[in-house]
Structure 1
């Protein structure tokens, strides 16, 4: 542990001192003028957002040691990845101490959370088709409704390129892991296209942890005229994998088959004084689980169809955005009462951004959701941004948010001889009050961000409450929690080729009634990185320290490394090392993470 602390101290000193060697040659610079869309549902400068936002662009994605989207988010401040180990273990995230069910996942603005269990497995999404990711830290129910208590992750996929190009990726690594990608994209007059096929195979690092996954992705953009365009995307994912279970309850024969299909049609229109967007989407997820050892079988199919509209009006001193959403959800499951349940949600929202003076803006927003399964919810938010100068701004916000009960929590049915569990159709949504203040400083070589946050959660759902009168376990609204913390983010370019980054999150999450810490919420999360980037060679070295863990789990420090080398203009080789120090550790209790492993990839473009 002393060696770990010494290494951390050295890296921290490098970050703080900055080593301004060759600073005059630095060409890369940060800017508050970077455009983001997720925080307000329309394009705005990063400096105008009333909440903390992290953006991962295509260049950063290339540098990161990532096999899936969860890996891309792992070293972001305020985020914890709940990783159940290896390629087959599900991967979902927590933001600022939220549960995974309280984080809303979007792909191109479309909600992806599975409404049977409330989460989305980020291990399914291939990184090859991601153009950028925008992470909103903090409650966003005022615009997005349910399940945005902790924040929002919007995965924005790649469109067609101006020049036609074909890309191939072939990779081989530890545990018999193999990856194959074939991508073709381009643009023909008004029509842009992106078509790809990806395949993943692995024997896994544990017994019964094999994976075979195929991913087909297509995206077409058609320019209707100078002001509007039409988007059509279709994605199909098929994953066959073993299900090894935990070390406490291992399973040597259980397996799982997941199929996901997403259809997204969007119409966008942008003029000087208003923007309009209309989206139609359909999502179908099917899961089959079988465990011959226990004669267990279950099948679940969740489908969702929705229409989403929003419009933004631009005036001299304010922007007004409004819209609505209509979503029908249906679940057919062997573990649901009567085998099938459905629901309808209708929603309206409005937001007004008002420039009171040149440096000061006030943002007021609210959303009303009317759901068949529980009482209607109104989610307001008030935010403010004060721009001191082109390098520094301050922001603050307060608002309310909620998390909807899942179909399992409402209608689940698990009868048994010695133990039974049934859902509770009378559940209310979890609600929260959220507070945040923060500052951002950016100049040509340095980015500094500091955020303080607090969340009070009421009507938390206890999913395993034993009802003595009924004689079975169920879900009830009895818990409450107080979550507070601080985030410190520092990124610095030491030279035009070398940059370092550091972020630290302190989190204190407690049950209000017992004052006990909430499970799976660690006190300290520290990420350190060193990056090197030229036209021919790029690389990264990243360390992650998790300490002060809940449930008395041991702390851990893990280091990953990646090196990219261009052989020719059209050929690139990359070598990735994960868990470089070969640590034995667990992110989730009783689910061991892989030992030291590698992946070698060769990419061609023509």
Structure 2
């Protein structure tokens, strides 16, 4: 399907028409009072950020919305956020990374229950490995998170994707809870999940999660060669992965403690790019990841609060490619990473108007692999963040100074120079009227990303002389909310932005081989907009509507003499958007979602032969929840993704699956 900006505008207009219909229906007088008796429950949940009054752009999706909309993985959920670009290499087990506002995946930090996820080797996190099963809240913040009591590492990136998992809750008179589901779907997908939790005391809870994902990943696609079209199948896209997680929660009036042990293991096929006369691939990837983390927060007094975090992370992967071009017919790469991380932060409120915080992080990262003359790098990192927020009437201003020091040691070869840098950030919001729920906000932030171990040391490609990649962010936006009668609040956010990336780290051809180099400058102008509301159509029928739109012009301004000067950078659409409609009734809940992306280019020159056609993916989900005795619930859900069976690529030559079905049976006790 050929998607243009006109078609995307049409989809947005369609959603707005649906919104108008809902407004008309809600204008009728009706009695919306409904009295029900429910069992008493004890609930502990993640607190959603102040999305409309925050000084930085914030987008949120709840775990309940994720389940209602039938979102299948983390990439599906993130694609709904305005300004995001997800690179998906196809298949159930394909790698998935997220870039915010075209700055690149290396500039996006991932937080898991408040503690940063890291990968010093590659620098970008594969969000496809993260499960949606126990997610309570997914938040995307541009710049940094609004809460001042954060680790310094979470202030070091251009954007933060924060994942908050669900804290167990218990029905009255029960000291345990059980959640379990079984999913099965197209392409041989089977996904069982179970979670057991116990309340050992009034303030202490233990939980244990586990899930297994298995799929053969064999799906059909059409191979186009001029006028010739052949029906092929995508092979070597299988995955077998399991994930387990144990949590200890302890909460009292002044403190919160969360200790988490996490383990993940997977074996997957890497399907590779589809080329003529060769649609198969023999690359395999094994991953093992385990970490132990603890996060403690305590309110010392009305004005002082402290936080401490510690984490040990172990990561191992094995890549294997079978091909006659290698000596012995096989290439095997082994990599092992270790990280030791600690953070301490304090927040002080000297007055009601002023809040200060100071955070200090330290990390030790190591990498060992099986290449000849392994450099075995050890990286020592110190991050110090001083933050302040001041409220004066309708104005709230926040500022951050981040000091970074990085030094590295190697056993073989050259090491890079030590890196020292101070980077600022400033954001503010203005509430012009006490009557209108209108806020105007502005943001400036400077960040830099340190070259990864692969950038510095990868065999023949690495370059220890690389400089950090620099990024500047400017944002101006507004938020508005109104609550008409019989309606959920209608919320609107609009943000315009300008970003500039300098000393971009790219692979650059030298005399004999490709080499990593600082060669690149990108300017990005864009607009993000979102709207959402809900309405009770009757006493028992509720309609929810949400839509988002993104315009991005990301151009290469490296060399005025180059053929690609001022042309759109690869894999960045000018127009993209998403929308969802959800209807809740006593009989069945239904949800429809749309994700649409305009044309992109997979090479630096914007030539017709380099164009990737746009696409629109439709998903339909139907579910029904049955209330059982003593507060137990049984949930049945069926989903259809890519409803129109459209074939499209997110990455060129990596075809995505066509129409797929999935069914879920879930129980909560």
Same fold (TM over 0.5): yes
| Alignment-derived partner of residue 208 in structure 1 | 236
What is the TM-score normalised by the length of structure 2? Answer: 0.83
The structural deviation recorded for 1:337 is 5.3
Task: Name which of structure 1's ranges 260-269 and 59-68 shifts more when overlaid on structure 2.
Answer: 59-68
Q: Provide the rounded CA distance (Å) in 1 between the counterparts of 2:476 and 2:12.
A: 28
Counterpart of 1:566 in structure 2 is 625
Q: Does residue 450 of the first structure (1) align with residue 527 of the second (2)?
A: no
On the 8 A contact 1:287/1:299 being kept in 2, the answer is: yes
State which of 135, 140, 144 in structure 1 corresponds to 2:140.
135
Q: How far off is 1:397 after superposition?
A: 1.2
Confirm or deny: 8 A CA contact 2:116 2:153 kept in the other structure: no
2:499 equivalent to 1:499: no
Asked whether the equivalents of residues 4 and 557 of structure 1 are also in contact (C-alpha less than 8 Å), the reply is no
C-alpha displacement at 1:535, in angstroms?
5.9
- Tell me the equivalent position of 2:335: 300
Q: Tell me if the contact between 2:58 and 2:140 (Cα under 8 Å) persists in the aligned partners.
A: yes
Moved more, 280-289 or 385-394: 385-394
CA distance, structure 1, for counterparts of residue 640 and residue 444 of structure 2 = 42
What TM-score do the two structures reach when normalised by structure 1? 0.91
Aligned equivalent of 1:230, options 248, 251, 257? 257
Q: Specify the alignment match of 2:316 in structure 1.
A: 286
Q: Secondary structure at the match of 1:581?
A: coil
Match of 1:191 in 2: 204
Aligned equivalents of 1:19 and 1:46: distance in 2? 24
Question: Which structure is larger by alpha-carbon Rg, 1 or 2?
Answer: 2
Separation in structure 1 between the aligned mates of residue 46 and residue 51 of structure 2, nearest angstrom: 6
Distance 1:406 1:97, change over 3 A: same
| CA shift for structure 1 position 363 | 1.2
1:321 aligns with 2:357: yes
Structure 2 distance, partners of 1:572, 1:139, is 36
* Inter-partner Cα distance in structure 1 for 2:448 and 2:491: 32
Distance 1:504 1:45, change over 3 A: closer
Instruction: Write the distance in 1 (CA, Å) between the matches of 2:476 and 2:445.
Output: 12
Instruction: Determine which of 554, 569, 580 is the counterpart of 1:509.
Output: 554
The aligned counterpart of 2:327 is none
How far apart are the structure 2 equivalents of 1:202 and 1:336? 36
Corresponding residue SS for 1:427: coil
Superposition map of 1:13-412 within 5 A: 13-15=17-19, 18-22=22-26, 45-138=50-143, 144-145=152-153, 149-163=157-171, 164-189=176-201, 190-204=203-217, 205=219, 206-223=234-251, 225-248=252-275, 251-270=280-299, 271-294=301-324, 295-314=330-349, 315-335=351-371, 338-356=374-392, 358-373=393-408, 374-388=418-432, 389=434, 391-412=437-458
- Larger displacement relative to structure 2 (496-505 or 384-393): 384-393
User: What per-residue deviation string (whole Å, max 9, x for no partner) do you get for residues 566-604 of structure 1?
Assistant: 244321100011100000101111111001001001011
Distance 2:571 2:46 in 1: 31
Gaps of 5+ in 1: 28-34, 38-42, 414-420
* Alpha-carbon distance in 2 for matches of 1:61, 1:543: 14
Check the 8 A contact 2:68/2:621 in 1, yes or no: yes
**Any idea what SS the aligned residue of 1:422 has?**
coil
- CA distance, structure 2, for counterparts of residue 237 and residue 280 of structure 1: 19
Distance 1:226 1:526, change over 3 A: closer
d(CA) in 1 for partners of 2:501 and 2:266? 35
CA distance in 2, matches of 1:504, 1:481: 22
| Distance change (3 Å), C-alpha of 1:591 and 1:329 | same
Q: Deviations over 1:268-311 (max 9, x none)?
A: 10242222110001111111111122511111112211001111
Q: Distance in 2 between matches of 1:308 and 1:65?
A: 36
Change (3 A) 1:44 1:273: farther
- Residues 98-134 of structure 1, C-alpha deviations (whole Å, 9 max, x = no match): 2111111111122213111111111111111211111
Q: Indicate the residue corresponding to 2:580 in structure 1.
A: 529
Instruction: Report if aligned partners of 1:456, 1:481 keep a CA contact under 8 Å in 2.
Output: yes
The answer to whether the 8 Å contact 1:36/1:45 transfers is: no
Contact between 1:375 and 1:428, CA under 8 Å: does it hold in 2?
no
- 1: CA distance between counterparts of 2:649 and 2:191? 25
What is the alpha-carbon distance in structure 1 between the residues aligned to residue 102 and residue 508 of structure 2? Answer: 22
Q: CA deviation at 1:476?
A: 1.1
Task: For residue 60 of structure 1, report the CA deviation from its aligned partner.
Answer: 1.2
Match of 1:478 among 500, 507, 519: 519
